């Protein structure tokens, strides 16, 4: 965006809103509009009433003030929420008999879009360091570099020497080749140049979404999910359609519903498999169904796979990119390899156009990842079998412990997770989940994430894959709190 354009726009805005203040003040925000409909298609506004839909930034001469007409400006493509807001303003103005001219000049631009607060991350930031029993953690019991070396049979002093002797240049911009070669072994047919490293999976998701999604694009997001996967496309100005996972369907996406949601305009379908928070795992056949639907409209599929391989049963877990050339896999060292502190992740895709777009954006936001982090990551992935065996052992053992506890609790129900590191627990007290978790923290020093962070009330997200004794201690505290709530309810 050129500065000159911005200045031009402000003048234009002032001019347009001057005449239209009475109507535009009252325009609801897109979130209040509910089901967003194109009012022209719905027949509420006749095309001839829309005198101009145009780019006010690039062409400041646009903007006639015809009575009985609607002027809609949109700098980056037609945004349906603007049309819907215009529709409501139009109808309201007519009802009040104050004329029918509505000037809307609400350009959608990345740089000015306000992103929603990240519910889970804010909750964790607030309480993580204060909690004595942290059941909010989603990593499999984290490792130190010393523990990693011991596990994989490397002399820690030799490795430390390699770290301290490394000259700290930027390193390989797209990721160290040795590391990328090790990453390819997590997939079926992947080449190192189909991978780019990022700052955690959060960085990889951010990169893909910003590189691919344009304002006005249609994006379908399977929810509940890791919030950035929904909030970033929304903030970019995409039309985000949600596909909610239901408990009665085992928290697996409903293919029929997805077929009803996709259209020729769908650019991207976003999944998280295995899913955080539900612990659901899509089978190869389930993923293939999603791929077939995506293919029918030529859409990309982004699958956040940070919990992939953390399964309750043996066997290869397919990645989206094993099944679809327009698939994009994001992942990291944080959960599966217990190394969140190196802040290292990656994206992988066979699609060259996506890779090109991502590399271009990567130059702006990342340059490269830290060389020391990549050295630690390479050591871990060269020994991926050892780490996977350790971590699958932990997730399986601890899920048994959690299951036993759930079965003893009269006020808790759940759907036992199939994979990942988290589960949703439902309680039957009439208490909002943020108040539940706030009291649990204050009265029992125990941290859980409220279901409200995922828009699922009367539920709690528990992470269960750290040291087993810590899990037992935390669940004991939770049990005491549930007993207290029962007393209070009497
Ligand atoms: C589904 C999902 N994606 C991404 C992330 C971010 O992970 P990373 O540490 O790799 O940035 C998380 C962290 O909780 C997550 O649950």
Report how far ligand 1's centroid is from the alpha carbon of 24 (Å): 40
Q: List the domains of the chain with CATH numbers.
A: 3-109 (no CATH), 119-138+386-489 (3.90.1150.10), 145-383 (3.40.640.10)
Most confident of 41-55, 82-96, 112-126, 140-154: 140-154
Q: What is the 200 CA–ligand 1 centroid distance (Å)?
A: 7
**How far is the centre of ligand 1, averaged over its atoms, from the C-alpha of 201 (Å)?**
5
Tell which residue, 58, 103, 61, 91, has the closest CA to residue 77: 58
State yes or no: pLDDT of 235 exceeds 60: yes
The whole-angstrom separation of Cα 324 and Cα 71 is: 43
What is the average per-residue pLDDT within 425-429?
A: 98
Tokens (6 digits) for 436: 């539940």
- Parallel/antiparallel/unpaired status of strands 422-427 and 327-332: unpaired
Q: Residue 383: CB within 6 Å of ligand 1?
A: no
In sequence order, which residues have a C-beta less than 8 Å from that of residue 132 and are 6 or more positions away?
445, 446
Residue 225 scores a pLDDT above 50: yes
Q: Which atom belonging to ligand 1 lies closest to the Cα atom of 332?
A: 10
How far is residue 69's CA from residue 53's CA, in Å, rounded to a whole number? 12
Is the pLDDT score of 52 beyond 70?
no
pLDDT band at 60 (very low <50, low <70, confident <90, very high): very low
Among the ranges given (40-44, 48-52, 332-336, 359-363), the one the predictor scored with the smallest mean pLDDT: 48-52
**Ligand 1 pocket check for 175: Cβ under 6 Å:** no
Is residue 272 in contact with ligand 1, taking CB distance under 6 Å?
A: yes
Band (pLDDT 50/70/90 cuts) for residue 411 is very high
d(CA 114, CA 109): 10
Q: Give the sign of the dihedral formed by CA 172, CA 178, CA 184, CA 186.
A: negative
The pLDDT of 41-58, averaged and rounded, is 48
- pTM of the predicted protein model: 0.80
Ligand 1: centre distance to CA 177 (Å):
23
Residue nearest to ligand 1 atom 6, measured at CA: 202
- Could you tell me if the CB of 332 is within 6 A of ligand 1? yes
Q: Work out the angle between the directed axes of helices 468-489 and 384-407 (0-180°, nearest 10).
A: 20
Assess whether the C-beta atom of 224 lies below 6 angstroms from ligand 1. no
């Amino acid at each position: 965006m050129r500065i000159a354009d911005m200045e031009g726009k402000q003048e234009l805005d002032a001019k347009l809103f001057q005449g239209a203040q009475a109507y535009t003040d009252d325009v609801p925000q897109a979130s209040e509009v509910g089901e967003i409909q194109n009012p022209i298609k719905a027949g509420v506004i006749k095309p001839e009433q829309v005198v101009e839909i145009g780019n006010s930034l690039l062409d400041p001469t646009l903007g006639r003030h015809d009575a009985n007409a609607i002027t809609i400006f949109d700098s980056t493509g037609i945004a349906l929420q603007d049309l819907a807001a215009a529709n409501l303003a139009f109808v309201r103005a007519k009802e009040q008999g104050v004329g029918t001219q509505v000037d809307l000049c609400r350009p959608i631009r990345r740089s000015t879009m306000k992103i929603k607060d990240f519910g889970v991350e804010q909750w964790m930031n607030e309480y993580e360091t204060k909690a004595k029993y942290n059941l909010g953690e989603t990593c499999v019991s984290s490792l130190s570099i010393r523990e990693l070396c011991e596990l994989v049979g490397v002399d820690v002093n030799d490795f430390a020497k390699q770290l301290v002797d490394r000259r700290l240049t930027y390193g390989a911009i797209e990721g160290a080749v040795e590391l990328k070669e090790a990453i390819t072994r997590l997939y079926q047919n992947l080449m190192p140049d189909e991978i780019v490293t990022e700052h955690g999976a959060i960085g990889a998701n951010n990169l893909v979404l910003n590189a691919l999604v344009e304002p006005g694009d249609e994006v379908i997001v399977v929810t509940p999910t890791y919030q950035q996967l929904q909030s970033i496309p929304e903030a970019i100005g995409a039309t985000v359609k949600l596909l909610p996972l239901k408990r009665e369907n085992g928290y697996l996406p409903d293919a029929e519903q997805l077929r009803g949601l996709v259209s020729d305009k769908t650019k991207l379908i976003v999944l998280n498999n295995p899913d955080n928070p539900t612990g659901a795992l899509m089978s190869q056949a389930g993923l293939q169904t999603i791929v077939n639907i995506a293919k029918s409209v030529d859409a990309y599929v982004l699958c956040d796979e940070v919990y992939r391989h953390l399964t309750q049963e043996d066997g290869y877990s397919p990645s989206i990119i094993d099944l679809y050339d327009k698939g994009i896999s994001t992942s990291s060292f944080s959960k599966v390899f217990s190394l969140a502190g190196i802040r290292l992740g990656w994206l992988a895709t066979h699609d060259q156009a996506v890779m090109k777009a991502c590399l271009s954006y990567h130059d702006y936001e990342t340059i490269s990842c830290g060389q020391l982090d990549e050295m630690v990551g390479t050591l871990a992935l060269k020994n991926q079998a050892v780490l996977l065996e350790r971590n699958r052992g932990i997730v399986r053992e601890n899920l048994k412990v959690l299951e036993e506890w759930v079965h003893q609790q009269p006020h808790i129900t759940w759907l036992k997770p199939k994979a990942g590191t988290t589960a949703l627990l439902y309680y039957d007290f009439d208490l909002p989940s943020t108040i539940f978790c706030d009291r649990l923290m204050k009265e029992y020093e125990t941290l859980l994430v409220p279901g409200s962070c995922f828009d699922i009330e009367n539920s709690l997200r528990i992470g269960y894959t750290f040291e087993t004794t810590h899990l037992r201690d935390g669940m004991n505290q939770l049990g005491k709190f549930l007993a207290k709530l029962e007393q209070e309810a009497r």
